[in-house]
Amino acid sequence: MQRHRRLLALLLVLGVVNALWIPAQAQTQPERYFPETGHWISGEFLDFYLAAGDPLLVYGYPITDAFQDPLSGFTVQYFNRARFELHIEAPKGQRVQLSPLGWLLYEPGPVAEFSTDTPACRYFPEKGMYVCYAFLDFFNANGGTAQLGAPISNIENHDGLYVQYFERARLEWHPELASGQRVTISDLGRVYFDQRIGDPALLAPNVSNRITQSVIQLQVRAFVANAVVAPKSRQIVYVVVQDQYLRAVIRANAAVTIRYPGGKEERHSLPLTNDYGVTQLEFNVGDQPVDRIVELTVEVSKGGLQKFSSTWFRIWW
């Protein structure tokens, strides 16, 4: 009897522990910070974002934090390619909805001439539209109507670019990209933000005390004082170093490699970047042949990060 009581007590304890542990495992993280844009996604918006198969592909990065839209009254959050709306009156699990940015921003253009009498096309009778070829492959692979909505246009030519509008997105065809990456989603979230809100303060990074303001990404620009210089004259190369928020990076190391016509190379170390993230090097180009290009490669390092940039100038009389 006593043994049975001990066993029952053990099962009760395990049951309590299990009851406490399972919900904790099922809970999603309450918020996530995106250093690429300096914004947070939290709560139901984060659950909705992470539920997408490839959220960076279909939504992009958050470009604002969540805020109350002054016109609709909804709590909204803007992303590169989407806008989330919180509908508190909807059932749980359906409270976050995508704004119909395709409908809101659609402007008809010339219809592209493509054969639709092919298995590579799918007809949507409710809209009277076709989705074809690479657009159809992308549509099927990325959520279809549940994610993008139904098509509201056929393939059109907008300023030399093949596009197709859907209720919640616009697809673009970029033949210059690698195979399998030629269909992209337009940044309609940013376009709609600029048209409807246009407040740059909402785009500013929200770096709270929870996130250190350390440099996690270098951005480097290099340019010369003169695009054309004569032989034996002086030239100056300027280097500007910024971080992921376009803030000046001070005391960064920089070096420049100068490649002259004929194959001669010179490597120079530059002074550490100043309070504006700028450093420079003045040098004599020497007796170089005219109508030749001098190439410069700049290498910048800071705290284990490294970034390259380049520029050039021409030797001329």
Digit-coded pLDDT (tens) for 102-141: 999 999 999 998 899 999 999 999 889 999 999 999 999 9
Q: What digits encode the pLDDT tens for the residues 133-154?
A: 999 999 999 999 999 999 999 9
Q: What integer is the mean pLDDT of 256-283?
A: 94
* Residue 179 predicted with pLDDT over 70: yes
φ, ψ for residue 273, nearest 5 deg:
-60, 145
CA–CA gap between residue 186 and residue 163 (Å, rounded): 9
Place of tokens 């992921």: 244
Q: What integer is the mean pLDDT of 179-198?
A: 94
Instruction: Report pLDDT for 246.
Output: 79
Which pLDDT band, with edges at 50, 70 and 90, does 5 fall under? very low
Q: What is the mean pLDDT of the chain?
A: 87
Two structure tokens written together for 10 = 């053990």
Percentage of residues in the chain having pLDDT higher than 70: 88
pTM of the model: 0.59
CA–CA gap between residue 185 and residue 59 (Å, rounded): 9
Q: Provide the residue type at 106 as one letter.
A: Y
Q: What digits encode the pLDDT tens for the residues 208-217?
A: 545 545 677 8
Which pLDDT band, with edges at 50, 70 and 90, does 71 fall under? confident
Instruction: Report pLDDT for 12.
Output: 37
User: Does residue 101 contact residue 169 with C-beta atoms inside 8 Å?
Assistant: yes
Strands of the 219-224 sheet, one edge to the other: 219-224, 234-242, 278-284
Instruction: Report pLDDT for 196.
Output: 92
Q: What integer is the mean pLDDT of 300-308?
A: 88
Q: What integer is the mean pLDDT of 223-243?
A: 95
Range with lowest mean pLDDT among 96-105, 164-173, 205-214, 242-251: 205-214
Instruction: Report pLDDT for 214.
Output: 65
Instruction: Report pLDDT for 73.
Output: 86
Q: Which residues contact 73 (CB under 8 A, 6 or more apart)?
A: none
Delineate the domains of the chain, giving CATH numbers in brackets: 103-186 (no CATH), 219-315 (2.60.40.1930)
Q: What integer is the mean pLDDT of 94-105?
A: 96
Instruction: Report pLDDT for 247.
Output: 81
Q: What digits encode the pLDDT tens for the residues 9-45?
A: 443 333 433 332 323 333 445 788 898 898 999 989 9
